[in-house]
Structure 1
Amino acid sequence: MTLAPTETPATLPPATLMQFGVGRFLLAHVDLFASQARSAGGDVEIIAVQTSDRPAGRGKARALAQATSYPVQLRGRRHGELIDTRLAVDSITRSLVAAEDWAEVHRTFCNDVTHVVSNTSESGYLVATGDSPLAPCPVSFPAKLTQLLKARFDADRPGVALLPCELLTDNAGVLRDVVLGLARDSYQDAAFEQWLTAECVWVPTLVDRIVSAELEPVGAVAEPYGLWAIQQVDGLTLPFRHDDVLLVEDLGPYERRKLHLLNLAHTWLVARARQLGVMEQLPLVRQAMEDPRLGGELIAMLREEVVPVLDHEYPGMALDEYVDSIIERFCNPWLDHQLVDIAQNHEQKLERRLAPVLAMARRQGRALPRLAAALAPHTRDTRATPPSAQ
């Protein structure tokens, strides 16, 4: 369930976000939302920190430091409208390179920051052997963050709200546990550990937007659809308001809606295209949507089979409207989304994305012939394979 906003953008307290990562996704998602909130009267700024040693990332961070704004090109369909527009994003007011500006990162984190945002990839929470918050400038994001939080604690400053955007279930809980482990191993300071859990606010979030390309020297091309779902946590004050930023009681239904509608639809298209032998003739999602054996059947399957099942399990999730957005996104004339890319780890995706919906349907006494047909070859293959080889 989405919570009703209680404050307008102008009435929220000023917010300063420290953003770890300057990749194109954050540039066209959180940073764009923040820029639009600023235009609506919100008092929010973002300090971007390039965390890795990649030359391309350093170059992008330097370009951000020199520019007062950068472009985001929105191209695609939304709410029935074909959109091709370029926006100027001005929410990043400072850009720092961790390896070069670590003292400034420290000073800013201790004195100015209210919220932390990150998008460091699914492997971004890994800490390499030998890395530590005790290093002059740690290598990994979690070690860097732990050192900064300790410095803020030692400065007797209040905690911060952490809103990670990595695509992990309970991303905030996972990050918190990694940071607590590093803090315990590195500092042996029970008061600091208590501060981390009691004064800092660890906020799970879910992001959804396709950012298809970079613009040089800095900028991005993205679809018009965007979602940042943020779970309500005690002590959380949102950094800004935006129509595509949803404060929700529980992220679970939103994660399952994405998994069992958007992701399911992608995997179903691959399964059906393989059955028809048209993967090479129709290599793109938008091309597949133009073929009634694929696009027409997909739409019928989503509306007639999957939506009723999920609506029974997760009522009040606006599933019909979400399917409308999926169809528009899949038909985006500017997006070259390759079916062969979606087909990676196909068998595991069938088990994770499609099979649970069929299990729900069986419990509800429903038949889902179109969805079941996509799983049928996989089911036959696994049944015919000796257990030791699975």
Structure 2
Amino acid sequence: MRISAATLPQARGAARFGYDREAQKVGIVHFGIGAFHRAHQAWYTDRAMEAGDRDWMIAGVSLRSAAVAEQMNPQDGLYTVAERSAAGTDLRIVGAVREVLVGTGEAGAIVARLAAPETRIASFTVTEKGYCRAADGSLDLNLAEGGFYPLLADAMRQRRDAGIAGLTLLSCDNLADNGKQLARLMGEYLFARAPDLASWFEGECRCPATMIDRIVPATTGADRAEIEAALGLSDEAAVVTERFSQWVIEDRFAGARPRWEAAGAQLVSDVAPYEMAKLRMLNGAHSLLAYCGLAAGHTYVHEAVADPGLRALAERLMREEAAPTVQAAPGQDLVAYADELIARFANPALDHRLIQIAMDGSQKIPQRWLETLEANRRMGRTCPAIEAGLTGWFHHLRGANGPVDDPLADRLGSMARAHDDLQLRDLLVGPQGLRIE
């Protein structure tokens, strides 16, 4: 029997929300309602409503695949978050999701949700490639037509024409300066496709920067079976994560927002130091462990960080290569942050697959490694750990770990097979990031 509104009273062994879901309006439309969003932003929103906030239910959007809709809609949007550590597992049933819409067949319903007066926020976890950027960082208009941009443009026109206030567009993805990037890319789309909306967007909408930190492995069949045994109900949308969670948000919204701080979020004037530390230290070390760990025959992050040689590389990347390039905010302790990251990576209860982290390297490596590499070059320093990671990535591109999951897989794979590591590094890596012709 699956979890749903009807079967919820039968659930056991889990904390749950106490608010009346049916009485709450949808206030957020979220693009990319995968496991990461469900373990993070939706989890924060659920706890904010539990603390007394109201009318912040989430309408999720899957732009292409109906898989998440098929998981969540039969469950009335309910799902379980399993927080795992060496001490055990805690379960919480989250009630913040109202529905999941699919872009391929429900574009009109998505636009209607975005245009509704009660919707104040459109948020995003679409991964780096979901922003449809060209190699030079500008918007690829052809790709953008299949993304969220035209849906937002249609909704903005309806809001403007009806005299409804603008939206907050909240990127929750691992992009450096994600708020400004989203504002720039959305502006480029409007300038090209709907120039009459460009000034309205600039005047009425806001794109705050965010930094999100929570490790969320892909949920396995074994995970779902374990949760079902504890809950007494099956849950096709369950997610597994660590106990640690951090969300730093620039306090710059177009209108109302949930009181996410009631659930532990930090509202600040400048996200940049937190974002840079996460991208260069956590994400940089994750990618290093992924490519070098796969080459060493490991499957999971906790296995890779238990390898003395790989742990030493990860420590060097975080402490000696990345941390010196981060101008920490007051009270931000990068030494303690590195200590905490190693402990989190070593969590034996979290089976975070290296191959999952290795996906989409062309979209991740510029901000995770190359900015650190360039900052050290300007200081006259070398980065042996990042260089080892690049070598691991080059081997990955040649298919050493199986099929390469990357939007530029064919082009990069051809380049990698045609050149040795030194030649490939000279061809690809430059001060301005990846050079992909």
How many residues are treated as equivalent by the alignment? Answer: 350
CA distance in 1, matches of 2:319, 2:110: 56
2:27 aligned with 1:16, yes or no? yes
What residue in structure 1 maps to residue 79 of structure 2? 70
CA distance in 1, matches of 2:314, 2:144: 49
CA distance in 2, matches of 1:255, 1:142: 24
What residue in structure 2 maps to residue 159 of structure 1? 166
SS at match of 1:146: helix
SS at match of 1:211: coil
Mapped contact 1:21–1:51 kept (Cα < 8 A): yes
Give aligned-pair identity as a percent.
Answer: 27
2:252 aligned with 1:230, yes or no? no
Q: Which amino acid aligns with 1:232?
A: D
CA distance in 2, matches of 1:234, 1:221: 30
Could you say which structure has the greater relative contact order, defined with CA pairs below 8 angstroms and 6 or more residues apart?
1
Name structure 2 gaps, 5 residues minimum.
Answer: 1-24, 133-139, 225-234, 392-419, 430-437
What residue in structure 1 maps to residue 119 of structure 2? 113
What residue in structure 1 maps to residue 305 of structure 2? 289
Change (3 A) 1:361 1:85: farther
Give the counterpart of 1:246 among 266, 269, 276: 266
Q: Deviations over 1:125-172 (max 9, x none)?
A: 33764986xxxxxx4211101101111111101112111223222333
Mapped contact 1:22–1:57 kept (Cα < 8 A): yes
Q: CA deviation at 1:329?
A: 1.6
SS at match of 1:18: strand
CA distance in 2, matches of 1:61, 1:338: 24
What residue in structure 1 maps to residue 205 of structure 2? 200
Change (3 A) 1:43 1:351: closer
CA distance in 1, matches of 2:389, 2:257: 47
What residue in structure 2 maps to residue 3 of structure 1? none
Q: CA RMSD in A?
A: 3.9
CA distance in 2, matches of 1:301, 1:287: 18
What residue in structure 2 maps to residue 143 of structure 1? 150
Q: Deviations over 1:214-242 (max 9, x none)?
A: 45422211222222221233756542223
Mapped contact 1:306–1:357 kept (Cα < 8 A): no
What residue in structure 2 maps to residue 55 of structure 1? 66
Mapped contact 1:45–1:91 kept (Cα < 8 A): yes
CA distance in 1, matches of 2:44, 2:365: 34
SS at match of 2:90: strand
Q: CA deviation at 1:89?
A: 0.4
Q: Which amino acid aligns with 2:94?
A: V
Mapped contact 2:121–2:169 kept (Cα < 8 A): yes
SS at match of 1:111: coil
User: TM-score scaled to structure 1, two decimals?
Assistant: 0.73
Q: Deviations over 1:271-314 (max 9, x none)?
A: 8769xxx812x44331233344443x358647864687357x42
Mapped contact 2:274–2:329 kept (Cα < 8 A): no
SS at match of 1:168: coil
Change (3 A) 1:199 1:268: closer
CA distance in 1, matches of 2:112, 2:390: 52
Q: CA deviation at 1:331?
A: 0.9
Q: CA deviation at 1:59?
A: 1.0
Q: Which amino acid aligns with 1:225?
A: F
CA distance in 2, matches of 1:181, 1:354: 28
Q: Deviations over 1:185-221 (max 9, x none)?
A: 44442xx332211111111222222221345422211
Worse-superposed segment, 22-31 or 345-354: 345-354
SS at match of 2:347: coil
Give the counterpart of 2:328 among 314, 317, 320: 314
Q: Which amino acid aligns with 1:279?
A: A
Q: Superposed, which structure 2 residues align to 1:1-390 within 5 Å?
A: 16-64=27-75, 66-67=76-77, 69-76=78-85, 82-98=87-103, 99-100=105-106, 102-103=108-109, 105-106=111-112, 109-126=115-132, 129=142, 139-189=146-196, 192-214=197-219, 215=224, 216-233=235-252, 237-242=256-261, 243-267=263-287, 269=289, 279-280=296-297, 282-295=298-311, 297=312, 301=316, 305=320, 309=324, 313-314=327-328, 316=330, 317-339=332-354, 351-352=369-370, 355-356=373-374, 358-359=376-377, 362=380, 372=384, 375=387
Mapped contact 1:15–1:113 kept (Cα < 8 A): yes
Mapped contact 1:284–1:339 kept (Cα < 8 A): yes
Q: Which amino acid aligns with 1:90?
A: G
Mapped contact 1:58–1:97 kept (Cα < 8 A): yes
CA distance in 2, matches of 1:154, 1:237: 21
Change (3 A) 1:36 1:151: same
Change (3 A) 1:101 1:130: closer
User: TM-score scaled to structure 2, two decimals?
Assistant: 0.66
Mapped contact 1:309–1:361 kept (Cα < 8 A): no
SS at match of 2:217: strand
Mapped contact 1:225–1:325 kept (Cα < 8 A): no
Q: CA deviation at 1:352?
A: 1.9
